Structure 1
Amino acid sequence: MSKFNKEQKIEIYRKWKDEKISISQLSKAYKMNLANLDYMLRLIDMHGTDILNTRKRVYSKKFKEQTIEQAIFGTKSDVQLSLELGFKSIGRLNNWLREYKENGYNFIIKQKGRPARGQRGSKIAQGTGERDPKAERRKLAIAYCERIRKKTEGLGSGKRSEEIAKLIAKIKEIFNHHQGRYGYRRVALQLIKEGWNITEKTVRYWMHKLGLKGIRRNKRKYSSYKGTIGKIAPNLIHRDFFAPMPNMKWHTDITEFHLNGEKLYLSPILDGCGGDIVSYSISRHPDMDLVMTMLDKAFVKETALNNCTFHTDQGCQYQSPQYQRTLKLQGITQSMSRKGNSMDDGLMENFFGLLKTEMFYDQEYKYHSLQELTQAIKEYIEYYNEERIKSRLRGLTPKEYRNQASINPVF
């Protein structure tokens, strides 16, 4: 930002604020780094144009120590902290943190003059007379982690330690309540939803320290494709899965569970608006009864379906005249993905992967019979609809988003 004087910076700010010119356009016009420009505009917006009058500041040792502690242990991002402190440069805090990693708090008081003769070669590896960059980086990383550990353990009293204790307890509570299904991003989202001023970085740090790891996905797939045995509908979705209102785009597919040598099949309808499950059926056989039962349940709940597009793969059940006739009677338009393109049915693939990862894969030992597994699937779908928040839905559950979109559609 130094290559522009105060008047030029104010001019840029006015164009952004008053004339509504985008940051990317200003970045190209003035040949400024996008991140630096964004920081400058936010800084002026927060502190006013008077912030440009301040001269170069000299920061005390205590101020630097407090700032570094806030950056490492606080809930604010480095950029947000820099803005609030009124740093003119986006890199000042980053430089302090980098120097702290290398030298600890020793960097705060800089020694004047050249180092003593005996200290000049201290960074040179003994014996070889050459630097060992990897060893130096490894040593600094270990020292940095050790300093963080000591700092954390040192927070044994006072208001700060109480806040951290409450945060840790809340993270554990959310993680355990959702049975390990939430990673650090969703835990952070839940905390923000409950009123915490927290960043993903902070949640990730504490979850890593506590050894809390979200469940990761495993992929297996059932296919109901038996070739062309009926009428193939055109692909009307074209991977545009989402809808601004409920009952505009429905998706369905069948997934298979293997348990103790037996199989169980789930067929749900997923609404493209909020991703909620409209209806579902479970059976030991992937036949037409499985699909038709699912449809009957859906038509009891939802009746105004004239504008609904129902998307599936080219499975044999969806090519059957019975299925296609039932949709036509309800005024539903049928859509099918292309042959051999699983991503055309990506929304259902994503849901099945999520469901099996969070309640089935590596947890088969919990279920001693298909009846127990059936009950667990029902409980998960209820949990998914009513409790499990989504980042895409701005921290709402599918049911909450569906209710909201019914009143205020998001076009």
Structure 2
Amino acid sequence: MTASKHEYTAEFKEEAVRLVISSQKSCAEIARNLGIHPYLVVRWKQQHEQKGAAGRPQFTGRGVAALSEQEARLKKLERELEITRQERDILKKGAGLLRQRKLIYQFVEQHRHEYPIELMCRTLNVGVSGYFAWWRRPENRYVQADAALTTSIQKVHQESRGTYGAPRVQAVLADEGLRVSRARITRLMKAAGLKVRCKRKFRSTTNSKHRHPVAENLLNRDFTADQPNQKWVTDITYLPTHEGWIYLAVVMDLFSRKIVGWAMRRTLHTELVVAALTMAQRTRRPGQGILHHSDQGVQYASNEYRQALERLQALQSMSRKGECWDNAAMESFFATLKMELDLHKAQGNRTDTRNLVFEWIEVFYNRERRHSSLGYRSPTRFEEHQARPN
């Protein structure tokens, strides 16, 4: 796939700036996570700050002193809350070890870079001197190796947001030069209490009861593609928030399972799916003849959407009515999204949910999350690997 200049939608820019503000990371770090030039994120952030500068409050004189006192009290409270949070995390992680002193010492050793040793010993009701006495004794080399490997597995599991099971953990460790059997990883994950969420049944969002023309099923459940921009699939799902629903439309390239276009709106109108298609077109700039597959929802059968596909010179394909497996790739993606972000229940307001989904798609899913169908590579890494000359 040849390189091309990307055009970023206003929605993408807005979400990138929100990610900088909410995560408190540098513009350079966010740009690296999104795979774009740092200058773009800096410029978008400056434009965002210029728009909001007029409404910012000014503090002078006594107001500054009062604010400083409040900040000091707040920092003290935050420190106390942090200690309480750490104690709760220690008890949660070490719950199964409370009656096994040796395992407690192993737990303290594995987490000594994460929590203070004294705090862990006090919380788990063992003596600090006992821990150091245990630490000085030579241990069985297999126990030491398992302890070190468990630390690496926990790190991978944490960086995957708790979503990787033994196969994906094995792939990550292999990239780091550690050849470990899947059975051993499974055993150590079980001993460490590392669990993976399971997918729930997918529910359809679109309405296929309409009088618009319906396209033939050209995809016919063939979810393979030999090159980028050969087959795109698309669909809509709903996400609950404390303020009501927010609807997400995405476009996936079947070659790499990469999400090349997305849009989020409060309403389920045709503009939602057109916005996702527009982002995909600007991001990928496909040639004519791309196969575009969706269900028979009224949004995809509408005149506005069919005209957008004609401008793209794409071949429209639609699932058979009532056949959910005709668009299984999209259903699988939405099930993964909701399972890994726990979005079967509201996680915040609409803005919080938008930020969460944007960061998951653009930073984690496209660039980091490993797919078994791609040889346990992320979509971006898979495309980069396929683009290299043999």
Q: Secondary structure at the match of 1:253?
A: strand
Corresponding position of 1:384:
365
- 2:202–2:331 Cα contact (<8 Å) kept: no
Corresponding position of 2:114:
none
Shift of residue 324, structure 1, vs aligned partner: 1.0
Alignment of 1:165 with 2:147, yes or no, is yes
What is the 5 A alignment of 1:226-241?
226-241=208-223
Corresponding position of 1:47:
none
Shift of residue 407, structure 1, vs aligned partner: 4.5
Q: Secondary structure at the match of 1:395?
A: coil
Q: Secondary structure at the match of 2:146?
A: helix
Corresponding position of 2:384:
403
Identity rate, percent: 29
Q: Secondary structure at the match of 2:374?
A: coil
- Aligned with 2:170 (options 188, 212, 216): 188
List alignment gaps of at least 5 residues for structure 2. Answer: 1-102, 108-133
- 1:267–1:281 Cα contact (<8 Å) kept: yes
Change (3 A) 1:388 1:214: same
State the distance in 2 between where 1:297 and 1:307 align. Answer: 18
- Point out the more displaced range, 155-164 or 207-216: 155-164
Q: Secondary structure at the match of 1:386?
A: coil
Shift of residue 233, structure 1, vs aligned partner: 0.7
State the distance in 1 between where 2:222 and 2:380 align. Answer: 21
Change (3 A) 1:310 1:156: farther
State the distance in 2 between where 1:212 and 1:307 align. Answer: 46
Alignment of 1:178 with 2:160, yes or no, is yes
1:341-397 Cα distance to aligned partner (Å, 9 max, x none): 000010000000000000034663xx3311000000001102100011112211211
- 1:171–1:187 Cα contact (<8 Å) kept: yes
Corresponding position of 2:285:
303
1:93-128 Cα distance to aligned partner (Å, 9 max, x none): xxxxxxxxxxxxxxxxxxxxxxxxxxxxxxxxxxxx
1:33-84 Cα distance to aligned partner (Å, 9 max, x none): xxxxxxxxxxxxxxxxxxxxxxxxxxxxxxxxxxxxxxxxxxxxxxxxxxxx
Alignment of 1:375 with 2:349, yes or no, is no
Corresponding position of 2:260:
278
Q: Secondary structure at the match of 1:300?
A: helix
Highest relative contact order (Cα 8 Å, sep 6+), 1 or 2?
2
Change (3 A) 1:164 1:191: same
List alignment gaps of at least 5 residues for structure 1. Answer: 1-148
Shift of residue 307, structure 1, vs aligned partner: 3.3
Q: Secondary structure at the match of 2:377?
A: coil
Amino acid at match of 2:228: P
Corresponding position of 2:297:
315
Shift of residue 326, structure 1, vs aligned partner: 1.3
Amino acid at match of 1:394: G
State the distance in 1 between where 2:166 and 2:367 align. Answer: 20
- 2:338–2:344 Cα contact (<8 Å) kept: no
Root-mean-square deviation over aligned CA pairs:
2.3
Corresponding position of 1:394:
375
Q: Secondary structure at the match of 2:205?
A: coil
TM-score by length of 2: 0.62
Corresponding position of 1:206:
188
Change (3 A) 1:407 1:225: farther
Q: Secondary structure at the match of 1:387?
A: coil
Report the count of equivalent residues.
257
Shift of residue 261, structure 1, vs aligned partner: 5.6
State the distance in 2 between where 1:403 and 1:270 align. Answer: 17
- 1:244–1:405 Cα contact (<8 Å) kept: no
Change (3 A) 1:368 1:334: same
**Structure whose alpha-carbon radius of gyration is higher:** 1
Corresponding position of 2:275:
293
- Aligned with 1:257 (options 208, 218, 239): 239
Change (3 A) 1:327 1:406: farther
Corresponding position of 1:92:
none
